[in-house]
Structure 1
């Protein structure tokens, strides 16, 4: 069995930036164990699999270790592959996922993702988590319905200089940690640490912005926000918040395409 595969750098204008995702279009679903094995073999933060569903597509995402409920950069990468390589021409793509219906449309520059916004609840500082991060946040916010937690710091430099102990972080909490602060030259910055799902640090995390954008929209009193994820690769997002929905606009670049050879 031969399957097409694409690798796309998402939330970036240039190759080797943003967050790389593998995208594999399928005619029908393979067994879950095989999907997970492919994702492990790819060894990227996410491998996206999509299957046609009438005029729409079903979409699933796998890290090297687990299937996840929501992924932004691999959704953007999937839309990029459909538009740039597979002849899709409609103005909007609808993906049916574990997180509900997600929509991606062409923007003036790149693509705009329409995602659900997470509800946020006040959290408390956990000293063990702070020790694993190497710095105590000024505010902790729980993300309702997702195994994520915001740790809000005062300055961009607080976030950029974090050097987490990932082994300790994995054992002290079952939540992925989103570190964030006001940005220098943008509204806010962030980093994402997820050793619980097999990703020590994710380069650019669309799903994290489903929590970040509602938080910063309320704190700053504005619905249009510019964001940077300040990982080593880095990424940029233009975001909006309204009616409980988060829109994120970003670019994508194809790095490679090829074939996967599987036994029949």
Structure 2
């Protein structure tokens, strides 16, 4: 079987920055086992598989090298980039999902991609897991949690950039990942994302977690539009708009094509 594949750097306007995702368009679903093997072979943080529902609607599923993921923002942006620029889809597409409902993505005239996602605001927790505290080199100011991850809040961007983590301990928090965050020096807020239980040690740019980070910082800073920076080695920038009335978060970013080819399985 021959399948098309694209690799796109997401949340960046330059190659080798942001977060890479593979996109595999399918005419019909292949087995979960084969999708997982392809994602493991690609060895990127995410591989997205899509099947067309109608002209501007696709069902999307995301796989890390280790497991299927409920929700992935950067691979959604990368998939929309491919559809808009290489597969003749007009400037709006709907992605249907197994876990997080409908995702509406549009393309602006300037090439930026706008994604409208359900809000996943974190809530404070009473008891912080000992593996979380032991797994991070800097003690948190505050810890919250949503359906995806523990949110570890620090006082400064410097702490976010300098914190070291122990993957073996954070892995014990499965199925939850860990995001560390603080008010930014230049951006409104910064973050890093660790996910040893579900994909790898540190994710370069994580769109999905900003559906929780953005509403948290919107309340802290009393702003509804925020600039975010994920301070990984590759780095990535996002513009976030928060609508508390509709419980939705809009993320804006860019993508750059790295590879177009075929795989044989």
Normalising by the smaller structure, the TM-score range is over 0.9
Q: Which TM-score applies when normalising by structure 2? A: 0.95
1:138 and 2:141 are equivalent in the alignment: yes
Give the whole-Å Cα distance in 1 for the aligned partners of 2:161 and 2:236.
Answer: 14
Selected match of 1:246 from 226, 249, 252: 249
Q: How big is the shift at 1:173?
A: 5.5
CA RMSD across the alignment: 1.1
Distance 2:172 2:5 in 1: 35
> Aligned-pair distance for 1:128?
3.1
Distance 2:111 2:6 in 1: 21
Question: Secondary structure of 1:189's match?
Answer: strand
C-alpha separation between the residues in 1 aligned to 2:199 and 2:73? 17
Secondary structure of 1:159's aligned partner:
helix
| 8 A contact 1:21–1:74 mirrored in 2 | yes
Structure 1 residues 10-159: aligned runs within 5 Å: 10-55=10-55, 56-89=57-90, 91-98=91-98, 99-107=100-108, 108-123=110-125, 124-143=127-146, 146-159=147-160
TM-score (norm 1): 0.95
* d(CA) in 2 for partners of 1:236, 1:93: 22
Q: Is the contact made by 2:173 and 2:197 (CA closer than 8 Å) also made in structure 1? A: no
Runs of 4+ aligned residues of structure 1 deviating over 2 Å after TM superposition are 124-128, 171-174
The match for 1:188 is: 189
Asked if 1:198 is matched to 2:183, the reply is no
SS in 1 for 2:232: coil
SS at match of 1:58: strand
* Corresponding pairs, count: 259
Contact in 1 for aligned 2:121/2:211 (Cα 8 Å): no
CA distance in 1, matches of 2:80, 2:8: 10
Q: C-alpha separation between the residues in 2 aligned to 1:18 and 1:10? A: 5
Aligned-residue offset at 1:88: 1.3
CA distance in 2, matches of 1:104, 1:172: 32
1:189-228 residue pairs with structure 2 within 5 A?
A: 189-228=190-229
The runs of 5 or more residues in structure 1 that have no matched partner are none
Deviations 1:111-136 (A, max 9, x none): 01100111322124334312211111
